[in-house]
Every structure is written in structure tokens, then in C-alpha cells.
Amino acid sequence: MDALTFLRQDHKSVLGMLEVLKDAPTGPGAQASGLSTMVTNLIIAESQHEAIEQQLFWPAVRQAVENGDTLADTAIEQEQAGKELLQRLEDGKPGEPDYQEALQQFVVEAREHIAYEQDVVWPQVEAAMSREALESLGEKLEAAKKIAPTRPHPDTPPNPAVLNTMGMATAMVDHVRDAVSGRAADNPPDPQIH
């Protein structure tokens, strides 16, 4: 599958979650609502997605697209802000004011980021990269996602070299933590929302 088709599927899944979460319950009802499970699914999906983009997609954009550095820098700045919001969700509990604020802010910013990628970046990538290059990149993204971190790690530098080394160790720790805590069983990878 080519890179843009692969990323579009991820975006579709996340947009489905954002649609549900935009009207998330607040206050005491938030804890009983199952909000925590849905947000954990979002954290996992987004953490994996952003990690593989920063590891593989944005370096490809920098190399292939004429203004690729500017496009990638803007996107990575947005992604880093998103990771900080996801970390607030990871650290908080449904119903807490900071949790609810971070969730609503993430819903808005994630939609804006997805629109930026799809409307601004992808047409330029499609014009600059061959079908073969997009297919090859798609295969790499798909393989990387299976072993990507499942938590946001906003303090990890969004540098491909760092992500290829430290990011792999971090991802292994995430997967072990998920297995031990039961998070992996409660939140299966790639939740498909249609």
C-alpha cells in the first residue's frame, strides 16, 4: 500500500475517534462513560502514527519536495504540541478540568493538523514522488507502526536518527508496560471506526 493511502487510513480512524470525543462527557459522568478507554485508544493510535511520520515520512518529504523542510518543520511543530496534550491525557483522569481541557484542545488541533497534511503536504508529495517511492515508503510505514511507541513521549526529540535508536528502545518499554498493565488487551491496536 502506498504511503498516502496508509496514512489516510490512520487519519480516518483518528477522525472517527475525534468525532466521538468532541462531545465527551465532563465532570463525574466522564469516569463512568468509558471515556478513558476511548482516549487510551486515541493515545496509542496517535503515538504510533506521529512516531512513524517523524521517523520515516517527514525525512522523505524533506528529501523529495522542494519546500519539504518548511512543510516538515510546520507539521512536526504541530505534532509536538499534540504529544504534549496527549501526555496530559495520559497523566490525567476523565472528569478532571485539565484532562477535559487537553482533550478538547487536542480534538481541535488534531483536526487542523490532519487538514494541513492532507490539503497542503500530500498534493506536493504526490507530485514529487514516484508511485514506486510512495509504495516503498508505505511498506516501511506499515512495518514501523507494528513496533512503534504506544505512548506520546513529548520529550523525545523528533529527529529520525534519535527515533531509530532511542525510539526503538522506548517502544519496547511501552509494549512491555502495555502487556504487564493489561493496556494491550484492553486497547487492541488499530481500532477501526467506520
Whether the pTM exceeds 0.75: the reply is yes
| Count of domains observed in the chain | 1
The answer as to whether 169 is a domain residue is yes
CATH code: domain of residue 118: 1.20.120
User: Cell digits for 152?
Assistant: 506520546
The answer as to whether 51 is a domain residue is yes
How confident is the prediction along the chain (194 residues), in pLDDT tens digits per residue? 999 999 999 999 999 999 989 988 787 777 767 888 899 999 999 999 999 999 999 999 999 999 999 999 999 999 999 999 999 999 999 989 999 999 999 999 999 999 999 999 999 999 999 999 999 999 999 999 998 888 887 777 666 655 555 555 566 666 666 666 676 666 544 444 33
The answer as to whether 17 is a domain residue is yes
Which of 90, 102, 107, 141 has the alpha carbon at shortest distance from 15?
107
Which of 154, 187, 192 has the alpha carbon at shortest distance from 40?
187
Q: Which residues of 7-25 are buried (b: 16+ CB within 10 A; e: fewer)?
A: bbebbebbeebbeebeebe
Range of the domain at 126: 3-186
State the Cα–Cα distance between residues 42 and 47, nearest whole angstrom: 8
The answer as to whether 191 is a domain residue is no
Quote the DSSP letter at residue 130: -
